[in-house]
Amino acid sequence: MRILMVTNTFAPHVGGVARSVTAFTDEYRRRGHRVVVVAPEFPGTPDDEEDVIRIKAFQNFNGSDFSVVLKPPLHLARAVDAFRPDIIHSHHPFLLGSTALRLARSRRIALVFTHHTLYERYTHYVPGDSSALKRFVVRLSTNYANLCARVFAPSHSTARTLRERDVQAPMSVVPTGVRMADFASGHGAGMRAALGIPEDALVVGYLGRLAEEKNLRFLADSMGRFLLQTPAAYAMVVGEGPLREGMQAIFAAAGVADRVRFTGALQSMLLASAYKAMDVFAFASTSETQGLVLAEAMAAGIPVVALDAPGAREIIQDRVNGRLLAGAGVEDFCAGIASVTSLPASARRQLAVNAHLTASQLSLERCAERALTAYESMVAQPTRPAVEVDEAWYRTVRLLSAEWELLSATMGAASRALQRGVEISK
């Protein structure tokens, strides 16, 4: 099968969507399918990529680590025609997602859309963030989903939310799977030694993008409180992003900065070693549709303490493979971490065993099989009649046009910022 992946984020960018696209792409290729990825340029993009079409983009959009694509070049359409995809899979409802929709419509190819994100939680990256903008983003993503042949929801709770928002397209629940073997190894003791963490210390860790939407100020407050109450404990923060300095300031104000280690973004064996160095994984985000890092931590045998929210509640069983905390404040979350680290060794080992078992139910192989089965069913069916697509398309054009006006205004703000000395790399 020939699969075209269209995404606004991709390696070397580090984030949930980029890692999901990479994981599925690698697994499909391992099974003998050909996959071409269309993605923006990012700093550090390798020169020798195979079957990746890069689109020029503005970097570090509005202080974030995202890229914003410019108008797709003419050579993209030629490359897609030469590839002749059986399926086009879009991972966003805007920017290159709009391009995916046009490519699929004009060539009568089935379009799949993975609704990775609750997009209204990310509008703070756009100047003029407001409740009206959040409603617009929800309406845009819903309309986009209804133009697709099928929608993939990363979790059952996300699928329910999409149905409540009036997404009527056929839907499948397809989580991003975890390649269990990637987290079976790793050298936790070596990672601790490299970071100057005592071998016998309790380590509470976090891994992910360091961004506002991840609720990391709350997490830093909670972790800092735990370190104050547990003098032999350390914290490890794995990842990079615009909130790094804000988290460091919170730890410094709490007087525990000397027991916090920021590693930056890690990949491959170092990533597995980071998980293995932790005793408990702490997660406070309420904006996830799945929470891939939760499954990764559990694949490494690390119990998770998380706020009760979509994504987390589908993988965490309270007091079975971690703690799921409803309505928790900083003190409650701190107590939740302590309730795991204070368990007898045998009880902590059982949590680890249960966590690993949970992750095995979300293996990448199982999830890729589910996605490929859905692809095959769509290839076997005719695409929607052109007139039906046209009517739906023109209803959406007004939204896409409004999106472009919004983006143009944002680019104007970025240009003014550039004149004031804010560096935006091209």
199-233 pLDDT tens trace: 999 999 999 989 888 999 999 999 999 999 999 99
What is the reported pLDDT for 287?
Answer: 81
pLDDT of residue 123: 54
pLDDT at 261 over 80: yes
pLDDT for the residue numbered 68: 55
Q: Tell me which fold the domain 180-362 belongs to.
A: Rossmann fold (3.40.50)
* Residues paired with 90 in a beta bridge: 6, 113
Per-residue pLDDT reduced to its tens digit, 328-373: 899 999 999 999 999 999 999 999 999 999 999 999 999 999 999 9
User: Taking 90 as the threshold, does the pLDDT of residue 289 lie above it?
Assistant: no
> β-strands 322-325, 87-90: how paired?
unpaired
For residue 282, the surrounding DSSP H or E stretch is strand 280-283
- Listed residue (123, 306, 118) closest to 206, CA to CA: 306
Contact 337, 305 (CB under 8 A): yes
| pLDDT tier for residue 100 given thresholds of 50, 70 and 90 | very high
CA distance 360 to 314: 14
Portion of the chain with pLDDT greater than 70, in percent: 82
pTM (2 decimals)?
Answer: 0.79
Between CA 19 and CA 239 the distance in angstroms is: 13
At 74, which helix (H) or strand (E)? helix 74-83
Average pLDDT over residues 247-272: 96
2-177+366-419: CATH number: 3.40.50.2000
Instruction: Return residue ranges of the chain for CATH 3.40.50.2000.
Output: 2-177+366-419, 180-362
Alpha-carbon Rg for the chain, nearest whole angstrom, is: 22
pLDDT one-digit tens code per residue, 112-164: 999 988 766 655 555 555 676 777 778 888 989 999 999 999 999 899 999 99
Task: Quote the CA–CA distance of 179 and 362 in Å, as a whole number.
Answer: 9
177 φ, ψ to 5°? -80, 165
According to the model, what pLDDT value does residue 72 have?
Answer: 67
Compute the distance between CA of residue 414 and CA of residue 43 in angstroms, rounded to an integer: 18
pLDDT tens digit sequence for 14-41: 778 888 999 999 999 999 999 999 998 8
Report pLDDT digits (tens) over 361-401: 999 999 999 999 999 999 977 665 444 545 555 555 555 55
pLDDT at 353: 97
Which residues, other chains included, contact 237 with Cβ-Cβ below 8 Å and sequence gap of 6+? 205, 206, 210, 247, 260, 261, 262, 263
What does the pLDDT read at residue 415?
Answer: 45
pLDDT at 73 over 80: no
For Cα atoms 298, 216, 124, give the angle at the middle one, nearest 5 degrees: 120
Residue, of 69 and 175, whose pLDDT is higher: 175
Q: Supply the pLDDT for residue 60.
A: 47
